[in-house]
């Protein structure tokens, strides 16, 4: 799989651990994130990841900021993106199963790195259930 990842200054350590995990699993990673803790603007990284997912350049996206909210709001401005804010593994699974989310948003200040890596693994290996959820998901995008 090709995974696009982006983060602001709250997430370089998270990004590095996730990228290492993904590459060990044989995935290709497109890295849009910052590598420093110097203040940057999360929309710059959220839009870059969302563009990759929306265009089909990446199969999935991972975005990281302090609360996970701002970067998720940014990514969700893109028509082809369904970014889900996840803080525990069960939420990551449900985001895929019920919402067919294609971007996971991680709140670096409210999870630890081990949790983040586990959520990413769950997110990427969980299938969309379809069925009753498919009709609901089809109503998300603005027409």
Q: Which positions ≥6 away from 11 have C-beta within 8 Å?
A: 33, 64, 65, 106, 108
143 assigned to some structural domain: no
User: Would you list which residues are annotated within the binding site for D-ribulose 5-phosphate?
Assistant: 8-9, 66-70, 99, 109, 132, 136
What CA–CA distances, in Å, run from 54 to 10, 127, 128? Answer: 24, 19, 18
**pLDDT of 113:** 98
Give all strands of the β-sheet with 103-107 in edge-to-edge order. 28-31, 2-7, 60-65, 103-107, 83-85
pLDDT in tens, 50-64: 999 999 999 999 999
Pick the catalytic residue: 65, 78, 86, 142?
Answer: 65
pLDDT in tens, 60-110: 999 999 999 999 999 999 999 999 999 999 999 999 999 999 999 999 999
Tell me the average pLDDT of the chain.
96
Q: For residue 131, give the CATH number of its domain.
A: 3.40.1400.10
Q: Residue 18's domain spans which residues?
A: 2-138
123 assigned to some structural domain: yes
Is 86 a catalytic site residue?
Answer: no
77 assigned to some structural domain: yes
Is 98 a catalytic site residue?
Answer: yes
User: Would you list which residues are annotated within the binding site?
Assistant: 8-9, 66-70, 99, 109, 132, 136
Q: What is the pTM of this model?
A: 0.96
Q: How many domains are contained in the chain? A: 1
16 exposure class (CB count in 10 Å sphere: 0-12, 13-18, 19+): middle
């Amino acid at each position: 799989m090709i995974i696009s990842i982006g983060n602001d200054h709250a997430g370089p350590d998270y990004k590095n651990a996730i990228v290492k995990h993904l590459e060990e699993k044989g995935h290709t990673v497109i890295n849009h994130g910052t590598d420093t803790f110097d203040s940057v603007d999360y929309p710059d990284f959220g839009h870059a990841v969302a563009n990759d997912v929306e265009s089909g350049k990446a199969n999935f996206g991972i975005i990281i900021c302090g609360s996970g909210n701002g970067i998720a709001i940014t990514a969700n401005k893109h028509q082809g993106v369904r970014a889900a804010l996840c803080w525990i593994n069960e939420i990551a699974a449900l985001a895929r199963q019920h919402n067919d989310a294609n971007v996971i948003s991680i709140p670096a200040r409210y999870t630890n790195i081990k949790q983040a890596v586990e959520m990413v693994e769950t997110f990427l290996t969980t299938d969309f259930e379809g069925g009753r959820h498919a009709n609901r998901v089809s109503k998300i995008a603005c027409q």
